[in-house]
Structure 1
Amino acid sequence: MNNLGKTIRIIRQAKGMKLNSLAKSAGVSVPFLSLVEGGDRQPSLHVLRKLAEGLSIPSEALILMSVGNNSELTSSDEVTTEITKNVDRLIKLEEKLELLLQASEGTDEPKVNHSS
């Protein structure tokens, strides 16, 4: 099983989702999703985005979690814990980025001097 397929399966199971539910929301067949989770097929970028949407996580997070999902983690619980930590980190980074973007939008406006 490859890391991406393993990550998709772990997240799906952690969320209590059935294989057919995720397949339907992503617009793929159950056999195809089973092959993806088993590491026998790779989803296209479009399907990967739909799978991430079905799992209610950003597609970037899914990719990053699968990269970080390494063989040093031996049990499903350890992998799930590691994935959860990575999701939490990504959410915090996303919130910080949003704050920075809001702050930069406020400071880019030209200042008008009203003292005439």
Structure 2
Amino acid sequence: MKPNGVAIRVIRERSGCGLRELERRTGLTRPFLSRIETGDRGASPSTLQLIATALAVPLKAILKEDT
């Protein structure tokens, strides 16, 4: 499973959720979340599910299509 950082950022921004709010919802740090969004960092399936849940989207919405 590879995160689609662009999709995560677009979904987050369109929902009016800043990195600080996503940090609060997930318990993950802003620098960590930012690195996922920029593609500098991968994430475990459980972390990706946590982000998807916090953004109220299905997991597949934040994954790269080739996974």
Q: Partner letter of residue 62 of structure 1?
A: I
Greater share of residues in helix: 1
2:39 corresponds in structure 1 to 39
Structure (1 or 2) with the larger CA radius of gyration: 1
Relative to structure 1, the CA distance from residue 24 to residue 58 in structure 2 (aligned partners, 3 Å threshold; closer, same or farther) is: same
1:52 corresponds in structure 2 to 52
C-alpha separation in 1, matches of 2:43 and 2:31: 13
C-alpha separation in 2, matches of 1:6 and 1:61: 11
Of all paired residues, the percent bearing the same amino acid is: 35
Deviation per CA, 1:53-94: give whole Å up to 9, x if none. 01001113332xx428xxxxxxxxxxxxxxxxxxxxxxxxxx
Q: Is 1:23–1:29's contact at 8 Å kept on the other side of the alignment?
A: yes
Equivalenced residue count is: 65
Could you tell me which runs of 5 or more consecutive residues in structure 1 were left unpaired when the two chains were aligned. 69-116
Could you tell me which runs of 5 or more consecutive residues in structure 2 were left unpaired when the two chains were aligned. none
* Aligned residue runs from structure 1 range 84-99, under 5 A: none
1:67 corresponds in structure 2 to 65
2:20 corresponds in structure 1 to 20
CA RMSD between the two structures: 1.9
Deviation at 1:3, TM superposition (A): 6.7
- Other structure's SS at 1:67 match: coil
Provide runs of 4+ in structure 1 moved above 4 Å.
none
